[in-house]
Structure 1
Amino acid sequence: MLSQLVYVSNRNRNCTEEEITKILTSCKRNNPPLQITGVLLYSDTKFIQMVEGESKVITQLYDKIKLDVRHSNVRMISYGPIKEKSFPSWHMGSRKIVGSLVDFKTEISKSDQEVFNKILNGQEENGVKVLGLLKKFF
């Protein structure tokens, strides 16, 4: 069964841009054989990631993600079955958020901006809202 998982975490200070490059390189190498797709948003202080694939593979991946020392306070926002992937050809898309400069693909409403701020502060737990907002980045 296909599943989708979204989590937020705090990026540790020792997680440099070089480490981000390593994360993305690893995803692009390891995800295709496991049929994992998804996106990673990151700032100087936060990670927001959505991954999708077979349920067992995603739960095993999340167990590994939680142990990664490059971030802390990993908090699952949503996890559940899906009918189809939201990002089927993205083995790991990424976008950096620099300060308050947020590069959305489309204009966002005030309510979407509020959801985004809640996500960054670890306060938003509605997976549908989070996914809708993630899609506006890509």
Structure 2
Amino acid sequence: MFRSYYSTPLMYRLAYSSIATSPFSETELHEALTQWRDKNSRLNITGMLLYSNGNIFQVLEGHEQDVQSIFATIESDIRHLHVLKVADGTINERDFPDWSMGFKTVTGSQFEHVLGYVDPTKQEFLASHPDQGEGSLVALLKSFATEAQPLS
């Protein structure tokens, strides 16, 4: 099949949750976010990361190969436990076009409201909120993005 050099490939979105092997300090988060944002900028990856007491929830957007590569790195990163892909697929446009990685530290109760979040290490996780789709997930994360502050 012939592919035009002028065609724009579809964007791809992947959302995951994980648990840090040990909670990040503010300094560690600042240093890590600086590195992650640099890498995301080079790869034209955008998204949003929520962090609460060692719990991580992130959405990545970009070209599928690049997003999958970053996710594979995350899955093998010893700083993450219980990495769980929550949603993925092609998208027509980015929901976080201006964020190489939006970031927000949230309280435990705010984190638990991410699609009725239930700890993935607990048995009831699989039964939690199967009727809510990716659209509500993105809308919720966008609400955090409007509150997020860039790193100084």
What TM-score comes out, normalization by structure 1 length?
A: 0.81
**CA distance change for structure 1 residues 89 and 127 in 2, over 3 Å: closer, same or farther?**
same
Distance 1:8 1:90 in 2: 19
**CA distance change for structure 1 residues 117 and 88 in 2, over 3 Å: closer, same or farther?**
closer
Match of 1:39 in 2: 48
Q: Is 1:67 the equivalent of 2:76?
A: yes
Match of 1:5 in 2: 14
Aligned pairs (5 A) from 1:49-68: 49-68=58-77
Distance 2:116 2:106 in 1: 15
| Larger Rg over CA atoms | 2
Distance 2:134 2:17 in 1: 11
- Which stretches in structure 1 are left out of the alignment for 5+ residues? 103-112
What TM-score comes out, normalization by structure 2 length?
A: 0.74
Kindly indicate whether the alpha-carbon contact (under 8 Å) linking 1:37 and 1:51 is maintained by their aligned counterparts in 2: yes
Distance 1:10 1:114 in 2: 13
Name which of 12, 23, 28 aligns with 2:32.
23
Match of 1:135 in 2: 142
Q: Is 1:88 the equivalent of 2:97?
A: yes
* Equivalent residue letter for 2:119: N
Match of 1:118 in 2: 116
Q: CA RMSD in A?
A: 2.1
Large movers: runs of 4+ above 3 Å: 122-126
- TM-superposed CA distance for 1:9, in Å, is 0.6
- TM-superposed CA distance for 1:18, in Å, is 2.5
Name which of 102, 107, 117 aligns with 1:98.
107
* Equivalent residue letter for 1:58: V
- Which stretches in structure 2 are left out of the alignment for 5+ residues? 1-9, 146-152
**CA distance change for structure 1 residues 9 and 90 in 2, over 3 Å: closer, same or farther?**
same
* Equivalent residue letter for 2:134: G
Kindly indicate whether the alpha-carbon contact (under 8 Å) linking 1:11 and 1:46 is maintained by their aligned counterparts in 2: yes
User: What is the aligned residue count?
Assistant: 127
Kindly indicate whether the alpha-carbon contact (under 8 Å) linking 1:15 and 1:71 is maintained by their aligned counterparts in 2: no
Kindly indicate whether the alpha-carbon contact (under 8 Å) linking 1:36 and 1:53 is maintained by their aligned counterparts in 2: yes
* Equivalent residue letter for 1:132: A
